[in-house]
Chains A and B, each alone.
Chain A
Amino acid sequence: MRFRTLYIALLLLSVCCITVSCLKDVDFDQVNEFEMNPVVESSLVHSELPVPVVDSIPFSLVLSDTTRIELFSDSFSVDNLEKAELYFETLSTVSQSLSVDIQLLDDYYIVLDELSMSLPPSNGEEESSVAELIYTEENIDKLTNVTQIIFYITIPYLENRNEEAYVKLKSKGTFYLHIEG
C-alpha cells in the first residue's frame, strides 16, 4: 500500500515536471527581430506679426528671428530618425508682396538647408504659400545636425493700408522613426 502511494505521488510529480519543462513550437530568438516604426507629428515653430499701416517706405524691410531647436539633433533622433518631412506655411494679409526665407543651421552657423516662400499682395483676403523639406534615409544626417532655424521676412518696400494686416508663420514636422530592439 505504501509503495502504491509513493508510486502515485512520484508519477504525478514526474508528469508535472516533464510538462512544466516542455515549451513546444516556440522560438524565443525572434525577439531579436523586434522593431518599431512610430510616426510622430509635431508642431514646430509659429508666429503672428502685425504689420503697421504705412503709406510708403521706399526701401526694403527685413525682419528676422532665430531659435535654437535641439529636437532633431538629440541622441534619440540621431539613433532612430529614418525619414522626416518639415512643412512650412506662410499666410499674409499685407497689401503687397513679400517673401519668407528659412535657413536650417548647425552649431557652427553653417547653413545645411534652406527654403523660400513668396506671397503676392493681399486684397484683404489671406494669401498663402507653402514649402516642404523632405529628408530620406540618404540625407537624414543633414537634419540631425540642425540645431538652429533662422526666419527672414523680406518686404521689398513697405506700403500697407490694411489696419489688420499680419504675417503668420506655421510649421510642423512628420518624423518617421525606426527603433530596433
Chain B
Amino acid sequence: MVSFSALGQNKPVLYDFTGIPQSLLLNPGAEVDNRWYTGIPLLSGVRASFGSDGFSVYDLFADNEVSFNDKVRDLLFRLSSRDAVMVNQQLEIFNIGFKNNWKGRYYYSFGMYQEADAFMYWPKDLAILAHEGNRDYLGKRFNFGHLNASAEMLTVLHFGVRKKVSERLYVGARAKLYSGMINFNSTDNSGYFVTETGEENFYRHRVVSDAVLHTSGYVSLREIEEDGNQVKNGWKELRSRALFSGNMGLGLDFGFTYHPAKQWTVTGSLQDLGFIRYTEDVESYSLKGSYELEGIELIFPSIIDGSGEVRDYWEDLRNDIEEQLPYDTLHNKYTLMRPWKLNGSVRYSFGIRRNKKRYYLTDYENYVNTVGAQFFIVNRPRGPLPSVTGFFSRKLMKSLEVKVTYTADKFSQTNIGAGLSAYMKNVHFYLLADNIPGLFDLAKTHYASLQFGFNYVFPHSGEPY
C-alpha cells in the first residue's frame, strides 16, 4: 500500500532536478541555471496523480467470480479510517524565469498554475453503520470523526526570487496569491452515535455531534439551470473565478541550496505556509449538540395530570431533537490553512565526462552523476506524513539527463520513479513518472503520477552578455 496522502503532494522526481526549471516551484532556492526560460503556455506543466492507499481499482472491480457486494463488504472491514483516496491535478498556465544579469546574483521566476485536489479518508464507522446497521453493534460508538474529506480547485499566482549569497549558498522565497474557485471541507469533526441497553426501554440511542461541512462556490453551481448545458455552464462559471474570485489567500515558500564541499549539496524548502479566506458563495452545514432517546414516552394524560389533553408526542420529539441537536445551514466566512510541505535533500556528485576524442579539455566543474537522499513531509488533518527517497541521476549527454528514485514511507516499499529532462536546441521537454510499476497495471496500483511539460530555455554559458 502507498501513503498517497503524502505522495499525492510529494514530487520526489522533480525535487532538486535542477535541469527542469519547474523544480523552482518546489524549492525557490533551487540551483536552476539558465539565462531565462518560459514555459509553453498551458503545456509547461501538466500533472495528474491518483491514489488509494487501502485498495486498488482491481480490488473492487475485478472481473471474476466474486460478487461486487462481497468485494465491497471485504473492503468495508479491511480498510481503516486512516486509509484514503486522492486525486490531484495541476496545470501551469504560464511560467517565466530569468536572471537579473549574467552574474546571476538574483534569479526571478513567476507564473500561474491551476490545481485541483481532492482527498477523503475512509469514513469507516459511518460506512459500517450504513452498510450493516446497528443491530450487531450494540455498545459500539460510531465515530463521526471518521468523516474527513476535502476537495478544492484553485489558481495560484506566484512570484519568486532566488539570491546567490555566495558561491556556496543560494536562498530563495516565493510569494503566492491563492484564488479559490470551489471548496468542500469537512475535516474537523467529532462525536458519535451509540445504541446501548436502555433503562426505560430496550435501547437508549445517543448522538453527540460536532460536525461541519464548509462549502464555497457550490451554491451557485447547484443553482445552474438543468437545461442540458449544465456541465458547460458550470465549467464556464468555474473559469470565471480563476483570478481574483474573492476567495483569496496568501502563502510563502522558502528554500535554500548549500554546498558544504565541492561535491556535496544540501537543500531544503518549506512550501505553502499560508491560508485561503473563503468569503464568496459560502454555505456550511452543521450538526452540533447531543441527544439521548429511548423512544417516545407515553404519559397516559388522563391519569397523570387529569387534563385528558392529547399530546403530539411525535411533534414534541422532533422539536426536542431540533433544539438539542440542531442541523443548521450557515453562511459564515471561513479560513483554511494550506497544507505545508517540507522538503530536504543531501546529494553527492561525482564522475567527470570524458571526451572520447579529447579535442578539448574535460569539464571538471560539472559532474555527471548524482546520488543522494530526500525527505518529504506534508501536513495532513491527521498529522504530518513523512516519506524518504533515495535517488540517482545522470547526465547521459549534454542535452539529456535522467533521474531514478526509490521512495519509501510507512505504507510502501515499492515506489520506483523516473524522470528525464531533454533539450532539442532551446526547446526543453521533461517527463516524470512516479511509482512506475503501478503505471504498467493501473487497475492494481494504489498510486500513480505522471507529469510532463515543455519549456523554451535560453541557456547561460557563464560568459557576460
Q: A residues within 8 Å of B by Cβ?
A: 1-2, 5-6, 8-9, 12-13, 16, 19-20, 22-28, 30-31, 33-36, 38-49, 63-70, 87, 151, 153, 169-172, 174-175, 177
Residues of A within 8 A of B411 (CB): none
Residues of A within 8 A of B57 (CB): 23, 26
Q: How far is the CB of A76 from chain B (nearest CB, A)?
A: 12
Residues of A within 8 A of B452 (CB): 13
Residues of B within 8 A of A27 (CB): 61-63
User: Given A46-B294, A68-B313, are A20 and B442 neighbors across the interface (CB < 8 Å)?
Assistant: yes
Give A63's nearest chain B residue, CB to CB. B300
Q: How far is the CB of B363 from chain A (nearest CB, A)?
A: 17
Whether a CB of chain A sits under 8 angstroms from the CB of B201 is yes
Q: How far is the CB of A43 from chain B (nearest CB, A)?
A: 4
16 examples of A-B residue contacts, CB within 8 angstroms: A13-B431, A13-B452, A19-B442, A22-B441, A22-B442, A26-B58, A34-B69, A39-B136, A40-B135, A41-B134, A42-B195, A43-B294, A63-B300, A151-B298, A169-B298, A172-B295
User: Once the chains bind, are A19 and B68 in contact (CB under 8 Å)?
Assistant: no
Say which residue of A13, A30, A44, A66 sits within 8 Å of B310 (CB atoms): A66
Residues of B within 8 A of A48 (CB): 200
Bound Cα distance A169, B304 (Å) = 15
Whether a CB of chain A sits under 8 angstroms from the CB of B303 is yes
Say which residue of A38, A170, A174, A175 sits within 8 Å of B131 (CB atoms): A38
User: Once the chains bind, are B300 and A170 in contact (CB under 8 Å)?
Assistant: no
- Contacts beyond the supplied A34-B69, A40-B133: 8 A-B pairs with Cβ under 8 Å: A2-B399, A35-B69, A38-B133, A41-B133, A44-B295, A47-B298, A49-B300, A49-B303
User: Once the chains bind, are A70 and B314 in contact (CB under 8 Å)?
Assistant: yes
Bound Cα distance A83, B431 (Å) = 57
Question: Which of B15-23, B151-159, B202-210, B340-348 touches A?
Answer: B202-210
Residues of A within 8 A of B397 (CB): 1, 5
User: Once the chains bind, are A23 and B133 in contact (CB under 8 Å)?
Assistant: no
User: Given A33-B68, A65-B301, are A41 and B422 neighbors across the interface (CB < 8 Å)?
Assistant: no
Bound Cα distance A31, B203 (Å) = 35
Chain B positions 399 through 412: 1 when the CB is less than 8 Å from some CB of chain A, otherwise 0: 11000000000000
User: Once the chains bind, are B58 and A67 in contact (CB under 8 Å)?
Assistant: no
Residues of A within 8 A of B400 (CB): 5, 8
Bound Cα distance A153, B298 (Å) = 12
Interface residue tally for chain B (C-beta within 8 Å): 62
List residues 197-256 of chain B with CB under 8 A from any CB of chain A.
198, 200-205
Bound Cα distance A26, B422 (Å) = 36
User: Once the chains bind, are B443 and A24 in contact (CB under 8 Å)?
Assistant: yes
User: Once the chains bind, are B314 and A63 in contact (CB under 8 Å)?
Assistant: no
Bound Cα distance A42, B202 (Å) = 8
User: Given A22-B441, A25-B62, are A8 and B296 neighbors across the interface (CB < 8 Å)?
Assistant: no
Residues of A within 8 A of B42 (CB): none
Whether a CB of chain A sits under 8 angstroms from the CB of B74 is no
List residues 414-465 of chain B with CB under 8 A from any CB of chain A.
420, 422-424, 429, 431, 433, 439-443, 448, 450, 452
Bound Cα distance A65, B307 (Å) = 13
List residues 118-151 of chain B with CB under 8 A from any CB of chain A.
129-136, 138
Q: How far is the CB of A41 from chain B (nearest CB, A)?
A: 5
Give A23's nearest chain B residue, CB to CB. B443
User: Once the chains bind, are A39 and B133 in contact (CB under 8 Å)?
Assistant: yes
Q: How far is the CB of B405 from chain A (nearest CB, A)?
A: 15
User: Given A25-B58, A41-B135, are A46 and B67 neighbors across the interface (CB < 8 Å)?
Assistant: no
Whether a CB of chain A sits under 8 angstroms from the CB of B315 is yes
Say which residue of A2, A12, A43 sits within 8 Å of B420 (CB atoms): A12
User: Once the chains bind, are A41 and B58 in contact (CB under 8 Å)?
Assistant: no
Chain B positions 244 through 279: 1 when the CB is less than 8 Å from some CB of chain A, otherwise 0: 000000000000000000000000000000000000
User: Once the chains bind, are B130 and A8 in contact (CB under 8 Å)?
Assistant: no
Q: How far is the CB of A92 from chain B (nearest CB, A)?
A: 14
User: Once the chains bind, are A38 and B132 in contact (CB under 8 Å)?
Assistant: yes
Whether a CB of chain A sits under 8 angstroms from the CB of B293 is yes
Say which residue of B67, B133, B424 sits within 8 Å of A6 (CB atoms): B424
Bound Cα distance A4, B245 (Å) = 46
User: Given A5-B422, A35-B69, A49-B300, are A43 and B295 neighbors across the interface (CB < 8 Å)?
Assistant: yes
Q: How far is the CB of A33 from chain B (nearest CB, A)?
A: 5
User: Given A9-B422, A67-B296, A68-B314, are A31 and B132 neighbors across the interface (CB < 8 Å)?
Assistant: no
Give A26's nearest chain B residue, CB to CB. B61
Bound Cα distance A1, B433 (Å) = 24
Q: How far is the CB of A71 from chain B (nearest CB, A)?
A: 9
Give B312's nearest chain A residue, CB to CB. A68
User: Once the chains bind, are A16 and B442 in contact (CB under 8 Å)?
Assistant: no
User: Once the chains bind, are B63 and A26 in contact (CB under 8 Å)?
Assistant: yes
Say which residue of B202, B314, B399 sits within 8 Å of A170 (CB atoms): B202
